[in-house]
Chain A
């Protein structure tokens, strides 16, 4: 009798912990998507390499990254100045490109640098809805962003190969993006 009670209590506790873990993961992924969205917006205003990539997207190009089945998500649209605008809401039209993680945990693995972006694609954890060439460009934008704003040790885990970026370019590029990020937040 008491043994069964212990088993039931243990199972209930495990479920509770598991729910809390899931909620924590969801909160982390939601926060990270916001950071990435805003950082991409800032990078599109500051970094020439990313601006060049974005130049290939048509005006009003709408990009979404979301976690199936029901979010969280981030959305960016290209404005007339050739920069990304971070949209703090779900877009009301079908995105031109949507990258969809099949499960929250898959996004969590990428956003905690346990699994690189390319590996996540290779492991078929990400669905691409839209032109694959746009997806390839977007991945390059993310790679560039990670190279500039993350410490090398972390960026190496996210990227297929860490590019040869001069220290000065990394420091000044990263500082400009962080500065713009702060400015955008204040505005």
Chain B
């Protein structure tokens, strides 16, 4: 499965561990910035996470210019424009995103506007349409799942035209990602589980899809190992700081892996299900993962067998005959999902979500085969194949 050509790039400085937030003032100062706009959402602010960050910044030479906390779960051009206006009104010189995927994507959009000028994001939509570095941009993730802190992509809705605008550019990479366990310590169990399975899926698809390469493989396997060792531990003891940090690091590592190898059919189906039935991304990933692995099994037997070592440890790996390791890996993923279902009701089938109608499966299959990630899936997926996976996932 090792391919003869690959590209690998991750220019994001990772600042990870205990008291990581306290590094922000210094890291901004070396980029000649001292007056950041903080972009976040009401949930993150309400949970007191912005206050924790502000307290950590207090000892340094940093003055927060303003806080924009009105980012909705699906960000739009209007939100980006309003936040960019606040940045300009307050004379800010940098951006700190504190939140999950939507906050990070919004912040990337704001950075385009405040760096390039104007109010029109459309002209920068698409691949490679930014030609120069943007303003200093830091990300402090508050979930351990999306990996957006280490990706070069942003997706922002244009509600007027009813489309989602994709932005892809190396200049969209944040300058730094700050992984501090304090930021995920209060995540409720079902979000902890769903986001961890999001990261797990990023890592497994990075390791089994067409773009896998030696560098992304290393990150992916390490992420799978960290998640399998720590997810249940953290659910048992949510205040486990070391375990939380492991999950947050795993999420970032999985982000590095998939942004350099891309993802496949789990994401094609998950994007479609998320768009049509408004289910959280991590829930969709957890739901489809084993069904897609079974669908791809003929093409991914070898890497999937390797995953068993990271998933279940050396004893299980060594005692499992080589020719059934791939199947046992899928069985382990199913066991983990059963456990998560028992602990926090994370749905394992489309029926269990309670939000999907059987009549929607055909529409979902059609959407999935037109999703960009389908190109990177190791097996060819027709409409009939996608529908068959959906029917198996129905439950």
Contacts and interface: CB of A to CB of B under 8 A. Distances in A.
Interface of A: 56, 118-119, 121-124, 127-130, 132-133, 135-137, 139, 159-161, 163
Contacts of B6: 123
A161 B6 CA distance: 22
B3 A163 contact: no
Interface in B76-133: 126-128
B370 A133 contact: yes
B126 A123 contact: no
B166 to A, nearest CB: 7
Contacts of B371: 132-133, 136
Top-8 shortest CB links A-B: A132-B372, A161-B380, A133-B370, A122-B210, A160-B380, A122-B211, A123-B5, A121-B375
A50 to B, nearest CB: 15
Contacts of A136: 369-372, 374-375
A129 B127 contact: yes
A132 B166 contact: yes
A69 B116 CA distance: 25
A136 B265 CA distance: 13
Nearest to A127: B127
B379 A161 contact: yes
Nearest to A134: B370
Contacts, number: 49
A161 to B, nearest CB: 4
Given A127-B127, A129-B127, A163 B380 contact: yes
Contacts of A130: 126
Contacts of A129: 126-128
Contact of B127 (A119, A128, A133, A137): A128
Contact of A119 (B128, B166, B210, B372): B210
A122 B166 contact: no
Contact of A122 (B127, B372, B375, B382): B375
Contacts of B379: 160-161
A15 B350 CA distance: 62
Chain B interface mostly helix, strand, loop or mixed? loop
Contacts of A137: 370
A118 B210 contact: yes
Interface of B: 3, 5-7, 126-128, 166, 210-211, 262, 369-372, 374-376, 379-380, 382
Given A118-B210, A130-B126, A123 B3 contact: yes
B372 A133 contact: yes
A122 B380 contact: no
23 contacts: A56-B370, A118-B210, A118-B375, A121-B375, A122-B3, A123-B3, A123-B5, A123-B7, A124-B7, A129-B127, A130-B126, A132-B372, A133-B370, A136-B369, A136-B370, A136-B374, A136-B375, A139-B375, A159-B380, A160-B379, A160-B380, A161-B379, A163-B380
Contacts of B372: 128, 132-133, 135-136
Nearest to B128: A127
B378 to A, nearest CB: 8
Given A130-B126, A159-B380, A122 B374 contact: no
Contacts of A128: 127, 372
A122 B262 contact: yes
Nearest to B376: A122
A118 B380 CA distance: 10
Given A129-B127, A136-B370, A163-B382, 6 more contacts: A119-B3, A135-B372, A136-B371, A136-B374, A139-B375, A161-B379
Nearest to B7: A124
Interface centre among B210, B262, B371 (most CB of A within 10 A): B210
Nearest to A160: B380
B50 to A, nearest CB: 34
B364 to A, nearest CB: 14
A92 B379 CA distance: 38
A178 B300 CA distance: 37
Nearest to A119: B210
A55 B262 CA distance: 28
Contacts of B376: 118, 121-122
Contacts of B128: 127, 129
Contacts of B380: 159-161, 163
Most A Cβ at <10 Å: residue of B7, B166, B369, B372: B372
A122 B166 CA distance: 18
A123 B4 CA distance: 9
Contacts of B7: 123-124
Contacts of B127: 127-129
A119 B372 CA distance: 14
Nearest to A53: B370
Contacts of B210: 118-119, 122
